[in-house]
Each structure stands twice: as structure tokens, then as C-alpha cells.
Amino acid sequence: MTLYEPFLEGARELLTRRLELAPYPIAEGFERKEAVVRGEAVVTTSTAWHSPKLRQIRAAHVQGGSALQVLNFVISPRLEYDLPFFGADLVTLPGGHLIALDMQPLFRDDPAYRAKYTEPILPLFEAHRAHLEWGGDFPEEARPFFSPAFLWTRPKETSLVETRVFAAFVDYLNAYLDFVERAEPVVHPEGLAAVEQAQLRYLHYRAEKDPARGMFRRFYGPQWTEEYIHGFLFDLERRREAFHR
């Protein structure tokens, strides 16, 4: 078992139990990609589903030995819902572990939005934060996209990832699925337009600033990497026509 396999399997199990899941199309060449880097195979696998309220639930899983493990897991709601994004960036590199876990708000500075989607999870955040030291600086420009419940930590012990981080991941995902269960479609045209603009802003930022770009380019080349980023990881810009009713 590699470090993040239980996270992906745990998510699969929860999502299967709580949602009506269907497979989300993955273009040829993205389901599995392999390169040999300094004698070691680095394999990237993609998994994706959708559900009646969630446009894309997707995972990118990079496995390249004990010093290179990444699970990036993002849920993008359908454009009819004002739900936040679910975002987990679980990264293990030679320098150590880096963990980002959040429900990223569409309208961070709107008090009503905050009351609806952030305040209810603050108790969870506080409970987990007590065991996971703040990870320190992160890019200033990313700040607007994170919620006040952003768990950001660089655990020194792998056992902390397997226990506390895993528990936080499951709790955040369950809390997210509670929001999904209760979500009602937005009906006002201005509301729908605001949701779409906020989703595009976020996904555009993620695609432009993807911290994995350098790594993927080194392993698999620039052409595959750009296609993977824009055609799979953050694909709304390219596919938005398909998601308009």
C-alpha cells in the first residue's frame, strides 16, 4: 500500500455509499501515464466520477516510491449549485510531506456564504488543527481562494499522515457530502452567472498556477502536461458549453 492509496479508497467508498456516482470521461492517455525517472517508475493514474449535483469528482495519483507520492483530489460542483470546491493536495516529496485540505469558497467575503459553508465546519477545523501544526507561508495570491477552515500542515512524521491527516480528510469529505445532500439549485440568473464566474476564476487560477506543472513536465513532457492540466485536472474552461442547460 502506498501512502495515499487508503485516502483514495476511503473517498471511493464514501462517495459510492453517499452519492449516485457515474464515471466521468477521461481522455485517452490520461488514465495512466508512466515514466522512468532515475531508474524508478513514476506512475500517474486518474480517477473521475460525477453525480447529480457534482460536475466532476477527480483524483490524480502520482506514485514513484516512498519519496514521491501525491494525491490531488478536487470536487467541482455543477454550475447550478453554490457549493464550495472540495480540495485536497496531499504531497510527499524528498523534502517531506505537505498537506492542504479545504472547502474552497466561491464567495469568500460574503458573510451569508461564510455562515452557510464555512462556519459549520469550523469546529472540525479546530479539532484537527490541534494535532496538525500550521504549515507556514504559502503563496499570497492563493489566499483569496482558501477558506478560514484551511488545514495546511507539513507533518514531519509519516505516521501523522496515516492517522490524523487521514481522519481529517474523511471528516472534511463527510461534512462536504452533508452540504451536497442539502444543496438546492440556484434559480436567479444573476446568482447562476456569479457561480459560474467564481468557478471559472478559481479553476483558471488552479490551472495557471498548478504547483505540479514542473514535476509533470519533467516526467512526461510539456505537451502531455498542458493537455492533462487543461483537458482533465481543471477542465471547466474547455468544457463549459457542455455544462450549460
Binding residues (CB under 6 A) for ligand DBV: these are 60, 70, 72, 87, 89, 91, 98, 100, 138-139, 142, 145, 206, 210-212, 215, 233
CB of 192 or CB of 229, closer to ligand DBV: 229
The type of residue at 197 is Q
Shortest reach from residue 56's CB to ligand DBV, in Å: 13
CB of 15 or CB of 99, closer to ligand DBV: 99
CB neighbourhood size of 94 (10 A): 8
Closest C-alpha among 169, 141, 140 to residue 153: 169
List, in sequence order, every residue forming a beta bridge with 44; answer none if it has no partner.
33, 62
The type of residue at 8 is L
Closest C-alpha among 122, 150, 129 to residue 138: 150
Shortest reach from residue 188's CB to ligand DBV, in Å: 27
Shortest reach from residue 183's CB to ligand DBV, in Å: 21
Q: Contact 90/99 with Cβ under 8 angstroms?
A: yes
CB of 145 or CB of 179, closer to ligand DBV: 145
Shortest reach from residue 224's CB to ligand DBV, in Å: 13
Shortest reach from residue 115's CB to ligand DBV, in Å: 22
CB of 60 or CB of 168, closer to ligand DBV: 60
CB of 51 or CB of 92, closer to ligand DBV: 92
Q: Which triple of cell numbers denotes residue 190?
A: 444573476
Quote the Cα angle for 26-29-35, to 5°: 130
Q: Which triple of cell numbers denotes residue 114?
A: 461564510
CB of 140 or CB of 184, closer to ligand DBV: 140
Shortest reach from residue 231's CB to ligand DBV, in Å: 13
Q: What is the dihedral of CA 142, 231, 71, 243, to 10 degrees?
A: 80
CB of 132 or CB of 233, closer to ligand DBV: 233
Does the CA dihedral 6-230-232-11 come out positive or negative?
positive
Hey, which bits of 38-95 come out as E strands? 40-50, 54-63, 69-77, 85-93
Distance of CA 27 to the CA centre of its chain: 19
Closest C-alpha among 234, 236, 231, 238 to residue 30: 231
Return the residue nearest ligand DBV (CB atom). Answer: 212
Shortest reach from residue 35's CB to ligand DBV, in Å: 14
